[in-house]
Amino acid sequence: MRQKRTCFAILVLALLAGPWGVATAGVAWQEEWDRVLQAAKKEGKLALLGPVGADIRQVLTQPFEKKYGISVDYLALRGGEMAARLMTERGARKYLWDVYISGTTTALANLKPAGALDPIEPVLILPDVKNPKKWQGGRLWFSDKDRINLVPALTTRPAFAINSNLVKSEEFKSFRNLLDPKWKGKILVARDPQQPGPGQAIFTHFFLHRDLGQEFIRALAKQELTILRDDRQAMDWLGQGRFPIALGPPETIAEDLMKRGVPIMLIPPQQLREGGDLSPGPASLGLMNRAAHPQAAKVYINWFLGREGQMEFSKVTGIPSLRVDVPRDHLVSWRLPVEGYIETYTEEALAAKDPLLRLLKEVLAR
């Protein structure tokens, strides 16, 4: 008799977990999504902090507005400018923004310590977004141990850029080739490595790499580097031949000039013995604390992390999405993330920032 009751109980549980159980779970997320979407449309607006670039602005606003009828107020700023503005606003108790899409340095060094970001996972609603199997490695990727700053895309960056009329790319098999005396006074750093950006990222790569490290940075500094804080000027000077080599090149500007026939070439990291670094570029995602439009923020985050949002963003930026269902055939092959490359976007890498900055202040002092 006891055995029959046990079998009956198992049968009931199986039925509950069968079609009815699945349907109930399906209804649960759908009901939540419908409720959030309705509330978001009542808010009618999303305030988004995003990367600089007309194409990026367009892809991060227009498809979402068209799909959901929610307008996007988009502010494009570089990392340092974004952090300064947010800290000033929040100091005045102004909470104007909903979603952050930009680099991880600003998120980890400024926004997270200030309590300006909320966890993202609680606002993930769509099964297509929450399902780990939809993401490389069967997991959502984060730059921090607290899982606050989400990284939906990763790429490698060019090792550096050259003027192809003045330099042959085959000359470079290692970063140490930059130490050749013939390059003394001829290397430009496009973005000051003492400021957040690609210049700091490449020097972080040098600092963390076991075959480069402090010794290499000290030797490189003796090459009498010219350091700029103007991306456009740096690429103009490279294209004009005023400098044959540029470290930390702004890829978007460089590629635009290359399309116009300017003799600039990006050196792929795979060409060099030491490889490259991994970064989401301007693609990391954060949910602003005390969001001005909290329901619209939920809808936007689920859209951006979905196949549509990731596919459009990847097409414009050239950054490979970590979603397994987003095509990569439009990407330059060397941009695909390589296992074993230095991760310059994580909290662990950020921990090296202070000793790196102390070193840079010492060796770059004039």
pLDDT of residue 191 exceeding 90, the answer is no
Residue 199's pLDDT is what?
87
- Please report, rounded to a whole number, the percentage of residues in the chain having pLDDT higher than 90: 76
**Separation of alpha carbons 205 and 207, rounded Å:** 5
pLDDT of residue 11 exceeding 90, the answer is no
**Separation of alpha carbons 49 and 57, rounded Å:** 10
Q: Which of 154, 167, 155, 220 is nearest to 193 (CA)?
A: 220
Residue 22's pLDDT is what?
45
**Separation of alpha carbons 297 and 308, rounded Å:** 17
Mean pLDDT of 339-344: 90
**Separation of alpha carbons 105 and 133, rounded Å:** 28
Kindly report, residue by residue over 285-311, the tens digit of the pLDDT.
999 999 999 999 999 999 999 999 999
% helix, strand, coil for the chain, step of 5: 50, 15, 35
Question: What domains lie within the chain, and their CATH numbers?
Answer: 43-155+280-335 (3.40.190.10), 158-275+350-363 (3.40.190.10)
| Burial zone of 39 (CB within 10 Å; 0-12 exposed, 13-18 middle, 19+ buried) | middle
> Residue 319 contacts by C-beta under 8 Å, 6 or more apart in sequence?
153, 154, 155, 280, 281, 283, 313, 335
Q: Which of 94, 52, 61 is nearest to 85 (CA)?
A: 94
Kindly report, residue by residue over 342-365, the tens digit of the pLDDT.
999 999 998 998 999 999 999 997
Kindly report, residue by residue over 154-190, the tens digit of the pLDDT.
999 899 999 999 999 999 999 999 999 999 999 999 8
pLDDT of residue 323 exceeding 70, the answer is yes
Helix (H, G, I), strand (E, B) or coil at 271: helix
Listed range (70-84, 138-152, 213-227) with the worst mean pLDDT: 70-84
Residue 119's pLDDT is what?
97
Kindly report, residue by residue over 216-254, the tens digit of the pLDDT.
999 999 999 999 988 889 999 999 999 999 999 988 889
Residue at token pair 């340095």: 105
What is the identity of the amino acid at 277? D
What is the chain's mean pLDDT, rounded?
90
* Helices 19-43 and 2-16, packing angle to 10 deg: 30
> Residue 8 contacts by C-beta under 8 Å, 6 or more apart in sequence?
none
Residue 197's pLDDT is what?
77
Copy the structure tokens of residue 204.
């972080």
Grade residue 366 by pLDDT with cuts at 50, 70 and 90: low
* 8 Å CB contact between 149 and 286: yes
Write out the DSSP string of 83-136: HHHHHHHHHTT-----EEEE-HHHIIIIITTTT-EE-SGGG---HHHH-GGGBG
Residue 229's pLDDT is what?
85
**Separation of alpha carbons 147 and 141, rounded Å:** 8
Kindly report, residue by residue over 118-144, the tens digit of the pLDDT.
999 999 999 999 999 999 999 999 999
* 8 Å CB contact between 225 and 188: yes
Across 184-223, b (16+ Cβ under 10 Å) vs e yields: eebbbbbbbbbebbbbbbbbbbbbbbeebeeebbeebeeb
Grade residue 25 by pLDDT with cuts at 50, 70 and 90: low
Mean pLDDT of 321-340: 92
Give the pairing of strands 264-267 and 226-227.
unpaired
Helix (H, G, I), strand (E, B) or coil at 163: strand
